[in-house]
Chain A
């Protein structure tokens, strides 16, 4: 994979080694630092993360050990003008996603117009019949969205996937910044970086703005619903509840009483107005979905449909994460906004289509193939780094269930340097900005979470697959 590295767009350096404008201020600061500083600070940062307990649990790890997501201290920097364009594109896309979800659960105009095939919805496990004909409070489906962006050139940003179900990682965005400011305070006096720390306040405001019809009072009561301390993202659930001043609840703390969802407090049962749930649809309500679930609340869907509670994100939004639906996003954006998409999709072959399948099978060694419902970097094939045997095995799976896959070219993702033993070295990155949606509008925190592949040449940035993170800067004008 070094082949792709050498030809990739590096965000800090031009081909001749000149520092690009976005990194000029940072590089100037860096060059003035004593040798060994970054290394020492890196060790400090790890101790800091361990002490504060910023860890995630790895599913399937033998002792369910808590791991740290490696943090790299070289920031990923985006200029103000790049960000303006990105945020316009993200807002357009997120508005389209919400309109699409509303349409999907109502008249399905987009299907009637022949722009999206009905089959994609009908057979989709993420489509929830329980949501048909129902409009969530404030008309908002995706209260929180993470839009994964990749970059291949100076102005070439593309959307790799949409995370409209329960995007995670925002706590790392916040803690990475805290860590950078604690390690290098003077750096922030030399380079003007836009603030991210008010995300929890914006989230709380955004959620409160979606209170259900049954809410009465002056301040909606918000709770974060977590599967519990063994969940891989528990740290984030606790972190967000803490920062928002919301209760962190588990299914066992809640019950349906008098047409409301109530939580067991030391003063008795008290109604909850808005639930920011970090529990999948399937586990939300044993009466409506998986009857074995103990993570949710029996009867919450009835309360929801009767206007007794707001669930964020709305059940059934997961269908927008489907990679087959993703391939239709350019049409979806155009259909609902009447505009050309500002942000491009990555070119995508739908293996359900015979011509596409034939092409994909002929070119597996060059392509990335993903499951349409997959996430986290599991169950995918990266052609260029796979052996002949692996490719043959994957081809068999692909022929057996073509509907289950999409394929994309192996993108030459941009690189940003990380700090290694041998000094700065370029590694591939992506970017997940976090987007809040409320009846008042779309609110995008400047920056996001940069994930970085730590292995030389690797394109896999997922933390579950050994990726790390960086602080992501949007420069102030």
Chain B
């Protein structure tokens, strides 16, 4: 396949994954805002902006005051925000058009339909009343694309580049959410065990759609280490870092088999995965969660760039 097509596929799935994760993040923020006083709510919205790296762009648009409707409209649909969910869906669709010959008709139609639907629901300002429906639509469309991909795409290099884009992005997003939320929550760590605290921790899980799974596995025990361990190391949870790296390993191994050669990216991926499986949550906290995540994000980014070089995404 063409290097440019691999690039298009890779970014198509990165953008889709990011759009979906952003919607989940907002969903968690909104829920928190509904159950908390206004001061805590604006802290929550601030953490959403920090996680997405949009605090400066937001300040340029709305100033210092942080309100829910301003934040979620900025993140979802503001034309001045090049990283809005709407912009990501548009970029995903542009990439899909570019690689139209590499994806099945079902995948293309799912992406195109997502763009048409979301363009429509995001055409006018989102109110708190409508927010639930909008976020629902975003998640639903992402599910539709994924379903079309799993059900119709050949398991070849194109599928692997799609998977690599998805899991590089997901690992990045999960790590960022954990990092920022953890720091927002730090002040309350002294009051471990209070019901307020439990709500906040549950919200971290909600941001990555993991609250039910975690409760089921841990009989409702909300403790910071357990949650961090779940999001970083639990291979059963499809949004954990360990899961993402197991998937990346599979896709890269398939590429090596199909192409008959390994690349530098394989070495980087193997080293990261080995480190993840050797780690314990105690060791992570000993090193410092924030530092661990910082290193992980840098490494994840290096892997993505190496893949783009090794497979000639650009000249």
Contacts and interface: CB of A to CB of B under 8 A. Distances in A.
A binds B: yes
A264 interface: yes
A52 B105 contact: yes
B194 interface: no
Nearest to B307: A266
B97 A266 contact: no
A229 B311 contact: no
A268 B315 CA distance: 11
Q: For the complex, would chain B's binding face be called helix, strand, loop or mixed by DSSP majority?
A: helix
Given A52-B109, A52-B112, A265 B97 contact: no
Given A238-B101, A242-B100, A53 B1 contact: no
B259 interface: yes
B243 to A, nearest CB: 25
A207 to B, nearest CB: 16
Nearest to B110: A51
B3 interface: yes
Contacts of A252: 4, 315
Interface string B61-100: 0000000000000000000000000000000001001101
A241 interface: yes
A267 interface: yes
Contact of A266 (B6, B98, B109): B6
B184 to A, nearest CB: 40
A248 B315 contact: no
Contact of B101 (A52, A53, A241, A267): A241
Contact of A265 (B3, B94, B101, B105): B3
Contact of B100 (A50, A238, A265, A266): A238
Interface in A215-274: 229, 234, 238-239, 241-242, 246-250, 252-253, 263-268
Interface in A31-75: 50-53
Contacts of B192: none
Interface in B167-192: none
A247 B2 CA distance: 8
A65 to B, nearest CB: 12
- Count chain B CB atoms within 10 A of each CB in A51, A248, A264, A266 and give the residue with the most: A266
A263 B315 CA distance: 11
B2 A264 contact: yes
Contacts of A253: 2-4
A229 B6 contact: no
A268 B100 contact: no
Contacts of B2: 247-249, 253, 263-266
A453 to B, nearest CB: 29
A109 to B, nearest CB: 43
B311 A266 contact: yes
A268 B312 contact: yes
Contacts of B259: 266-267
Contacts of B43: none
Interface in B1-38: 1-6
Contacts, number: 62
B1 A265 contact: yes
Nearest to B7: A266
Contacts of B112: 51-53
B116 A50 contact: yes
B116 A266 contact: no
A266 B101 contact: no
B109 A51 contact: yes
B242 to A, nearest CB: 27
Contacts of B1: 247, 265-266
Contacts of A234: 97
A250 B97 contact: no
Given A234-B97, A238-B97, A238-B101, A250 B312 contact: no
Contact of B315 (A51, A229, A264, A267): A264
Contacts of B245: none
Interface string B112-139: 1100100000000000000000000000
A247 B3 contact: no
B4 A229 contact: no
Contacts of B311: 266
B108 interface: yes
Contacts of B116: 50-51
Nearest to A50: B116
A242 B105 CA distance: 10
Contacts of B113: 51
Nearest to B115: A53
A247 B101 contact: yes
Contacts of A238: 97, 100-101
Nearest to B158: A266
B234 interface: no
Given A265-B3, A266-B2, A248 B109 contact: no
B157 interface: yes
B312 A264 contact: yes
Contacts of A50: 116
Contacts of A249: 2
Nearest to A53: B112
Contacts of A246: 101
A264 B94 contact: no
Contacts of B97: 53, 229, 234, 238
B101 A264 contact: no
Contacts of A267: 259
B94 A229 contact: yes
A248 B3 CA distance: 12
A278 to B, nearest CB: 14
Interface string B246-264: 0000000000000100000
B32 to A, nearest CB: 37
B11 to A, nearest CB: 14
A467 B145 CA distance: 34
A250 B4 contact: yes
A81 to B, nearest CB: 37
Interface string B288-315: 0000000000000000000000011001
A267 B1 CA distance: 8
Contacts of A265: 1-3, 312
A249 B102 CA distance: 12
A252 B5 CA distance: 12
Contacts of B98: 229
A340 to B, nearest CB: 44
B94 A266 contact: no
- Nearest 9 CB-CB pairings of A with B: A238-B100, A266-B311, A242-B101, A264-B3, A241-B101, A248-B101, A266-B6, A53-B112, A229-B97
8 contacts: A50-B116, A51-B116, A53-B97, A234-B97, A248-B5, A252-B4, A265-B2, A266-B1
Given A229-B97, A266-B1, A266-B6, 11 more contacts: A51-B109, A234-B97, A238-B100, A248-B101, A249-B2, A250-B4, A252-B4, A253-B4, A264-B4, A265-B2, A266-B312
